[in-house]
C-alpha cells in the first residue's frame, strides 16, 4: 500500500503508537544512554584510571574521537546492510554490538593485560560502530510504515523518547559508580532485543527487495550525481551545530564554567541532563511545528538560527553567572538544538527506498563523526584564543555552513516515499 494513501479513516494515534514506533523509540533511548554516558562519567572514570586533571580534556577528546570514528564507519556499514537485507537486521545487529561493548566498558582497568586508556578507546570505538545503526534504521522503518501525513509525529516521538536516555544516564551515574552505569546501559540494550522480535519489516523495503534490477545500498552512488551529493552534504551540514553545542559547550562545561567566571562548580552530568531535557522539549516542539506548518525546511532553518542565538547567550549571560543560570543556558542550547528528529526525517525523505537506510544511517553518523574535526579545530585553537574564543571561532564556521545548507534543501513534508533512486 502506498505510504500516503488512503488518507481517510487512519486511526491517527493508534497508528503512530504502533510497534515500530514504540520499539524504535525505546531503542533510541538506550542508544542515547550509551552514546552520551562517557561525557557524563568522563571526569570520574578518567580520574579513577589515573589521568591528571590537566589532561582530562585532551584524553577525553581522544576517547570521544575513537567513539565517533566508530560511528562514522559503522554508519556506512550498517546503512548498506539496511538497504541490502533489511531495516530490522540493523536493529538486531547494532544493539547486540553496542550492548556487549558497553558492558565491557565497565571492566576497563580491572586487569593488567592491556593499558587501561587504550582499552577504553577500543571499547568506545566498538560501541560506536554498534551505536551507528540504531537511529537511522529506526527512523527509516518508522518513515516507511507510517502514512505520509503522520511521519513527522512518529519520528518526533522516536527522538523525544530517545534523547531522554541522557537524563536517565545522568541520574544513574549520580547515584551509582561509573562502572555500574556502563553495565546498566549494556543490560538495557540486551533486554530491548526481546521487544524487537515482534516488529515487522517495512513493506516498502520488501517490495524493493523483491523487484528485479533495483540496485540497493549503493553508498558510492551518493557521490556520482551532483544533485544527490548536494542533497546529501546539505543533510549532514544542518545537523553539525547540534553536536558542536553538545560536544564542546556541554561536554566541556566543567572547564567552561570557571573560564566564564561561573560562581560555582558545574558537573558534566548536570549540564548533559539540562541539555537533553531541553532537547526532549525541542524535538516535540519542532515535530509539532513541522506538522502544523506543513514544512520541514522552515522549521530546521528556524531552529538553526535559534541555536546560534542560544550559543551567543551561553557566552554573554554565562559570564559571572550563578550555577543555576548557567545550567538554564545549557537547557536553552538543548531546546534550540531540538530539531534532531526533523533533521533525520528530512534526510530520509530526500532519497528513494533503495538507498534510504544508507542515507538515514550515515547522515547522523557523519554528523557525529565530524565531532572528530570539531574537536581537532577546538583543541588546535584553544591555546591561542582561550576556551571561549576557540569555541566561538569553530562555531562560526559550522553555523555558517548549516544555514547555507538549510536554504538549499528541498521541502519534503508529505511526499510519497514509495520510489527508487534512478541509476
Give pLDDT < 70 ranges for the chain. 1-17, 198, 201-202, 209-214, 217, 423
**Interatomic CA distance for residues 279 and 285, integer angstroms:** 10
* Amino acid 207: pLDDT: 75
CATH number for domain 18-201+219-408, candidates 1.20.1250.20, 2.60.40.420, 3.50.50.60, 3.20.20.80: 1.20.1250.20
* Amino acid 9: pLDDT: 39
* Amino acid 211: pLDDT: 66
**Interatomic CA distance for residues 198 and 193, integer angstroms:** 10
* Amino acid 10: pLDDT: 37
**Interatomic CA distance for residues 191 and 379, integer angstroms:** 39
Which tens digit of pLDDT belongs to each residue from 154-182? 878 888 888 888 889 989 998 999 999 99
* Amino acid 1: pLDDT: 37
Which tens digit of pLDDT belongs to each residue from 182-230? 999 999 988 888 877 767 766 777 777 666 666 776 788 888 888 889 9
Amino acid at each position: 500500500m502506498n505510504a500516503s494513501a488512503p488518507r481517510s479513516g487512519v486511526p491517527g494515534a493508534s497508528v503512530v503508537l504502533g510497534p515500530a514506533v514504540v520499539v524504535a523509540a525505546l531503542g533510541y533511548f538506550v542508544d542515547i544512554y550509551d552514546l552520551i554516558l562517557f561525557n557524563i562519567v568522563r571526569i570520574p572514570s578518567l580520574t579513577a584510571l589515573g589521568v591528571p586533571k590537566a589532561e582530562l580534556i585532551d584524553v577525553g577528546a581522544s576517547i570521544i574521537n575513537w567513539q565517533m570514528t566508530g560511528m562514522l564507519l559503522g554508519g556506512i556499514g550498517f546503512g548498506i546492510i539496511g538497504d541490502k537485507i533489511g531495516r530490522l537486521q540493523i536493529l538486531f545487529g547494532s544493539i547486540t554490538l553496542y550492548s556487549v561493548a558497553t558492558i565491557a566498558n565497565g571492566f576497563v582497568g580491572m586487569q593488567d593485560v592491556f593499558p587501561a586508556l587504550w582499552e577504553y578507546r577500543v571499547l568506545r570505538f566498538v560501541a560506536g560502530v554498534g551505536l551507528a545503526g540504531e537511529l537511522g534504521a529506526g527512523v527509516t522503518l518508522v518513515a516507511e510504515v507510517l502514512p505520509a501525513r503522520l511521519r513527522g509525529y512518529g519520528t518526533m516521538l522516536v527522538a523525544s523518547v530517545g534523547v531522554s536516555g541522557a537524563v536517565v544516564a545522568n541520574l544513574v551515574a549520580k547515584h551509582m559508580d561509573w562502572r555500574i552505569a556502563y553495565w546498566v546501559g549494556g543490560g538495557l540494550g540486551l533486554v530491548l532485543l526481546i521487544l524487537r522480535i515482534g516488529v515487522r519489516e517495512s513493506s516498502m523495503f520488501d517490495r524493493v527487495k523483491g523487484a528485479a534490477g533495483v540496485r540497493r545500498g549503493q553508498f558510492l552512488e551518493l557521490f556520482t550525481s551532483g544533485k544527490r551529493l548536494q542533497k546529501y552534504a546539505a543533510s549532514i551540514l544542518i545537523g553539525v551545530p547540534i553536536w558542536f553545542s553538545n560536544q564542546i559547550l556541554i561536554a566541556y562545561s566543567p572547564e567552561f564554567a570557571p573560564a566564564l567566571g561561573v560562581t560555582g562548580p558545574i558537573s558534566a552530568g548536570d549540564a548533559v541532563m539540562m541539555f537533553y531535557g531541553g532537547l526532549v522539549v525541542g524535538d516535540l516542539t519542532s515535530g509539532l511545528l513541522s506538522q502544523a506548518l506543513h514544512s520541514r525546511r522552515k522549521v530546521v532553518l528556524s531552529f538553526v538560527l535559534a541555536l546560534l542565538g542560544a550559543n551567543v547567550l551561553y557566552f554573554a549571560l554565562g559570564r559571572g553567572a550563578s550555577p543555576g543560570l548557567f545550567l538554564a543556558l545549557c537547557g536553552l542550547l538543548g531546546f534550540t538544538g531540538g530539531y534532531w528528529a526533523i533533521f533525520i526525517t528530512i534526510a530520509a525523505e530526500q532519497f528513494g527506498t533503495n538507498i534510504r537506510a544508507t542515507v538515514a544511517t550515515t547522515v547522523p553518523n557523519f554528523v557525529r563523526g565530524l565531532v572528530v574535526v570539531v574537536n581537532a579545530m577546538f583543541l588546535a585553537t584553544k591555546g591561542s584564543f582561550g576556551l571561549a574564543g576557540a569555541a566561538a571561532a569553530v562555531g562560526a564556521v559550522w553555523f555558517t555552513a548549516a544555514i547555507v545548507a538549510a536554504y538549499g534543501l528541498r521541502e519534503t513534508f508529505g511526499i510519497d516515499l514509495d520510489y527508487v533512486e534512478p541509476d
